[in-house]
Amino acid sequence: MVLKVDWLNKSFGKKRILKDISFELNTGEILTIIGPSGAGKTTLLRCINGLEKSDRGTIFIDNAYLCRDYNDKNIYARSREMKEIRQKIGMVFQNYNLFPHMTVMENIIEAPIHVLGLSRDEAVNRAYELLESLGLEDKTDSYPFQLSGGQKQRVAIARALCLNPKILCLDEPTSALDPELRGGIASIIENLASKGMAILIITHDMDFAKRVATRVIFMEDGRIIKEGEKEEFFNSFKDDRIRKFMVL
């Protein structure tokens, strides 16, 4: 088990966004979280990454607590521990979030140099290996505006992987891609999982989820409505809320 979430709750003002969320993620597993817009999926991902703070509950990442309840308060790891924990999570945002004024190589080596303390040569070598594995070795000096959507997505994945995380989180990784490019991203994710990386994906793309998922969680209105292994989930669900979402 590389990630455990227990009874996680999050509100913005009086609006409760996450309601008693609990699940686990194991090494080499691909967990997809599906559900309608406003279900709380992205907020959950941001809490796991430490980009938002929860109100209650536990997030346990690779043998360390990001947060936990203590004396009726939600206590977070101290800043140094928080930094170490967050380094174990790679994040690929829906809009890629590449720095437009930096080349592909500069985008990828920024964090390894300033977060991990790698030398520039070490970071460049690591980045080039990743770009080569993703078929982007000829794009090192390109800028984001010169890339296609699929290329930007692969650069964002390379940037996340350059920190050598234990968990890779992806928010709607296929939302701007055509079917052929989606297949390419699916292959990359499957390959990473086969090498032992834990993958957590938020998606509205049912075909993509059916291909890559090991397990599936359906969320609605801040709650987990159903969770199961992929085959069981897609072949035997009976909940009308899930059925309606699946045919949208």
For the chain, domain boundaries? 1-88+167-248, 95-164
The model carries a pTM of: 0.92
- pLDDT over 60 (residue 247): no
- pLDDT over 90 (residue 248): no
Would you place residue 101 in the very low, low, confident or very high pLDDT band (cuts 50, 70, 90)? very high
Task: Write out pLDDT tens, residues 181-222.
Answer: 888 899 999 999 999 999 999 998 888 999 999 999 999 999
Name residues whose C-beta falls within 8 Å of residue 157's C-beta, 6 or more positions apart in sequence. Answer: 92, 134, 168, 170, 185, 188
Q: Any idea what the Cα angle at residue 150 is, between residues 124 and 49, rounded to 5°?
A: 65
Task: Write out pLDDT tens, residues 39-92.
Answer: 999 999 999 999 999 999 999 999 999 999 999 899 999 999 998 999 999 999
Q: How many CB atoms lie within 10 A of CB 20?
A: 13
Give dist(CA 208, CA 195) in Å, integer.
20
pLDDT at 246: 62
CATH number at 1-88+167-248: 3.40.50.300
